[in-house]
Structure 1
Amino acid sequence: MPALPFRLSLLSGVVAALMLQAAHAQESAPSPAPSPASSQQDPQATQWALGAAVGTEQSPYRGYGNKTRALPLVMYNSRYFQFIGTTADFKLGALGPVGFALRAKYADDGYDGSDAPILNGMEKRKGSFWLGAHAAWRNPYADLSLEWLADASGNSGGQTLKLRAEHQFKAGSFTLAPYLGINWMSSDYVDYYFGVRQNEATAQRAAYQGSSTANLVGGLRTGYSLTPSQSLFLDVHVTRYGSGITDSPLVDRSSAAGVRAGYLYRF
């Protein structure tokens, strides 16, 4: 089973890349002679999309190494509802340029003690179902998004807050979007996934109670439109972990790099 940071980064990154592709597909699709139907498509019209993605990620867990995972992708978007991967949004509407939504997400971010040598003897950490809200402000300078989620499953009892900024550039069939974000995690969240309980402590793994922390995430997403319906995306990023994670005896790196690529077909 892949470790927490890999699964979180892969799934959230794929969702973000898909949202980028879906939001700007009409603007970036290359077509020497676009059809009237494609050029006049209502952005609130119901849309389906299917695809696949693969990603490889460094894990901060001691001795874990890199992990690679392939994922099927399903996207549905309508005026009031959007579903991408493991994330579902109920759209509440907008105030000016700022859109709001209620968000539900499943994150398979747990681990078993057999996933890495440093985790041997650790109790199983479970994935969770998260509920919260999302806001997005699109403007000429930088698109800003804010996501707040709470663990509705009660496994970690934690919360997360993610603030992200990106700016999109277009060059023919290519879309380039550098981004920078801060991912805050509550102490309950960090303690559940990176803490070491007293009964789990060993001579090589001291007891540790996690504290709230913030990770810095920076990267570049690129999209390439093959046709008005087909597109490719690539995401390269680096995460700089906060002290609440790096101080854990389970962790042996302060940053991790990753890359993801995928294909999307819109119906």
Structure 2
Amino acid sequence: MGKSNLGRINMKKILMGLLALTLSATALAENKFGIGAGVGVSDSIYKGAEDKAYPMPLLDINYYDLYVKGATVGFQFYKDDAFAASLFVDPLAGFAVDGADLARGYDNIDDRKFQAMFGIRLDADTGFYGVKTGLSAQVGEHGGEGKISAFKAYKVDDKLTIVPSIHVKGYSGDYTDYYFGVTSDEARRNSKIDRAYKADAAYSMGLNLTADYRLTDNVALMAFLGVEKFSSEISDSPIVDDGVLYLVGVGAKYYF
């Protein structure tokens, strides 16, 4: 895979993950699964990396205890009326970027690569006004990541469902230092980087809003938007712009 594709594919992966995790809420509530396509736009938190639009396949597939959601493949080993637990692998985890995509003066950094991460996910229905929660932890070659999330589906009418969700993610020091740290050698090679930077363990907070409009029982149109705010351990990096990531997109899905 060419270096120039890394940053673009990483943003596509983030968008696919957001769509799969938020839109699967309505599909799972009806014990269905679906496939579709969409287009999303995302900015980048790296210095000078451009905003881009991406076509995206939308996968939300369940086959007995196996599932595919976005780029994530999992195996559900426990489920009852209010609780589910699964093991999963995300082959495209992380914030991969090609150094050449950054602005001049920052563009001679080493490329950050994807990493395959393996993890466990716990999902629960709180029984409190329809709020559902998720808790996950995953680890890979370059560190670990954890996430806690909550969402609620609001059925506006027979066709329109709105799903707001919130989450908090935590990143280990190895993880943040790999993707956002700067070595002394990188600092010497780039005219606008004035120091080495070691990134410590960090966190981010996100808000997402998804709308699902059913044209028929099997066909739906959807739209989403989201924002992710990263902590100072990431936003203070010399190669990071402002530490905020925005996402927006539309799509269509066929439910079986």
Could you state the TM-score of these two structures normalised by the residue count of structure 1?
Answer: 0.84
2:100 aligned counterpart, secondary structure:
coil
In the other structure, the counterpart of 2:153 is: 168
**Is the alpha carbon distance of 1:107 and 1:95 closer, same or farther for their aligned partners in structure 2, counting shifts above 3 Å?**
same
1:201 aligned counterpart, secondary structure:
helix
1:208 aligned counterpart, secondary structure:
coil
How many angstroms apart in 1 are the aligned matches of 2:202 and 2:236?
11
Alignment length (residue pairs) = 243
In the other structure, the counterpart of 1:195 is: 181
How many angstroms apart in 1 are the aligned matches of 2:10 and 2:175?
13
Displacement of 1:237 after TM fit? 1.2
Q: Which runs of 4+ in 1 moved over 4 A?
A: none
1:114 aligned counterpart, secondary structure:
helix
Q: What pairs up with 1:192-231 in 2 under 5 angstroms?
A: 192-202=178-188, 203-205=191-193, 206-231=195-220
How many angstroms apart in 1 are the aligned matches of 2:73 and 2:106?
32
Q: Does 1:125 align with 2:112?
A: yes
In the other structure, the counterpart of 1:106 is: 91
How many angstroms apart in 2 are the aligned matches of 1:235 and 1:54?
10
- What's the % identity of the aligned pairs? 26
In the other structure, the counterpart of 2:43 is: 58
In the other structure, the counterpart of 1:177 is: 163
| 1:129-175: CA deviation from partner (whole Å, max 9, x where unpaired) | 11110111123431100111111xx2x2x101011111111011111
**Is the alpha carbon distance of 1:181 and 1:74 closer, same or farther for their aligned partners in structure 2, counting shifts above 3 Å?**
closer
In the other structure, the counterpart of 2:25 is: 20
| 1:86-132: CA deviation from partner (whole Å, max 9, x where unpaired) | 11110111355111001111216412221122541111221111111
Structure 1 contact 81–90 (Cα < 8 Å) conserved: yes
Letter in 1 for 2:192: Q
Structure 1 contact 15–87 (Cα < 8 Å) conserved: no
Q: What pairs up with 1:17-96 in 2 under 5 angstroms?
A: 17-24=22-29, 26=30, 43=31, 49-94=34-79
Pairwise CA RMSD of aligned residues? 2.0
Displacement of 1:21 after TM fit? 3.4
Displacement of 1:221 after TM fit? 1.2
Q: Which runs of 5+ in 2 are unaligned?
A: none
